[in-house]
Amino acid sequence: MLEIIQFVAVLSCTLFTGAAIYINLVEHPARMKCGTELAITEWAPSYKRATGMQVPLAVVSTIAGVGSWFITGQILWLLGALLIFAVIPFTLIVIMPTNNLLLDSRVDKTSPTTRALLEKWGKLHGVRSILSLVASTLFLILVLRS
């Protein structure tokens, strides 16, 4: 049973990490090169689809990481679970105000302010990538050590 829980923790966390890093290194820079109007037009549906994928992955990874800690007593499982969980409150508290401005139907799709918000969003999303990468690394080290 423990192996299954740990597998789920690693799989869901690394899937989240891969998606987050892809967004930061590939998708967001590509959309930004297309100009502000196209970038904001593409950002909204992409953001909504990514949310539907990443939230469940973060939740499942957190639960499986806490379960692994509970069973093994290894504090690093709890630390990894807390790191991947941290993307949720970070998103809700820090990133959501920027998201709401970008999703506002009155946003000027060609303005320098909108471009600046998209650039800010990319930097803030980078924090999610880093948190998840550290969590994935911890989970993988723990699985390889056992």
Span 80-130, pLDDT tens digits = 999 999 999 999 999 999 999 999 999 999 999 999 999 999 999 999 999
Exposure string for 43-80, b = 16+ CB within 10 A, e = fewer: beeebeebeeebeebbebbbbbbbbbbeebeeebbbbb
Q: Assess contact for 43 and 102: CB atoms under 8 A.
A: yes
Residues 6+ apart with CB under 8 A from 145: none
pTM above the 0.75 mark?
A: yes
Give the CA angle between residues 33, 37, 39 to the nearest 5°.
Answer: 45
Residue 19 has pLDDT above 90, yes or no: yes
Q: What is the pLDDT of residue 54?
A: 96
Question: Rounded to whole angstroms, how far apart are CA atoms 55 and 65?
Answer: 15
Kindly state the average pLDDT of the residues 62-77: 98
Model confidence pLDDT, tens digit, residues 30-59: 999 999 999 999 999 999 999 999 999 999
Q: Can you tell me the distance from the alpha carbon of 68 to that of 1, in angstroms, rounded to the nearest whole number?
A: 10
**pLDDT at position 146 over 90:** no
**d(C-alpha 127, C-alpha 91), whole Å:** 10
